[in-house]
Amino acid sequence: MGALYIASVTKLYITAIMLMLRAENRLAFTDEVYTFFPAGFIDGIHVLDGTDHSKEITIAHLMSNTSGIPDYSYYDKQKGDSVKDLMLGNDQAWPLERAIETAKTLKPKFKPGQKGKVHYSDTNYQLLGAIIEKVTGKWIGDALKDYIFDPLRLKDTYAYRDINDQSPVPFYYKNQQVHVPKYLASITAEGGIVSNALETMLFLKAFFNGLFFPETIINELKENWNMIYFPGQFYFGLGLEKIWTPRIISPLKPIKEVLGFWGQTGAFAFHNPETDLYFTGTVNQVSGMGHSAAYKAMINIIKAWKGKKG
Instruction: Report if pTM > 0.85.
Output: yes
Give the model's confidence band at 141: pLDDT under 50 very low, under 70 low, under 90 confident, else very high.
very high
Measured from the Cβ of residue 237, the count of other Cβ atoms closer than 10 Å reads 21
Average pLDDT for residues 108-123, to the nearest whole number?
96
- Note the pLDDT of residue 290: 80
Residues with Cβ within 8 Å of 55's Cβ and at least 6 positions away in sequence, in order, are 32, 34, 42, 43
pLDDT at 77 over 60: no
Q: Which of residues 83 and 56 earns the better pLDDT score?
A: 56
pLDDT at 231 (0 to 100):
54
Beta strand residue intervals within the chain, DSSP E: 4-5, 47-48, 51-52, 158-159, 171-173, 176-178, 193-195, 226-228, 234-236, 241-243, 259-262, 267-272, 277-282
Check residue 230 and give its pLDDT: 62
Of 30 and 288, the one with more pLDDT: 30
Residue 213: the pLDDT is 97
What percentage of the chain reaches a pLDDT higher than 90? Answer: 79
Across the range 48-70, mean pLDDT stands at 97
| Rg, Å, the chain Cα set | 19
Type and span of the H or E element at 200: helix 197-208
| Strand 267-272 relative to strand 277-282, pairing | antiparallel
Q: What angle do CA 168, 8, 66 make, to 5 degrees?
A: 170
pLDDT of residue 81 exceeding 80, the answer is no
State yes or no: pLDDT of 74 exceeds 60. Answer: yes
Concatenated DSSP letters for 220-262? HHTSS-EEE-SSSSEEE-SS-EEE---GGGSSSS-----EEEE
Distances (CA, A) of 65 to 58, 129, 302: 11, 14, 28
Please compute, for residue 146, the number of CA atoms within 13 A of its CA located in the half-sphere on the CB side.
13
Mean pLDDT along residues 184-211: 97
| Residues pairing with 58 in the sheet | 32
Averaged pLDDT for residues 105-125: 96
Least confident of 39-43, 87-91, 188-192: 87-91
Higher pLDDT, 275 or 232: 275
CATH of 4-309, one of 3.40.50.800, 3.30.365.10, 3.40.47.10, 3.40.710.10: 3.40.710.10
> In the chain, where are the structural domains located?
4-309
pLDDT of residue 269 exceeding 90: yes
The pLDDT of residue 232: 64
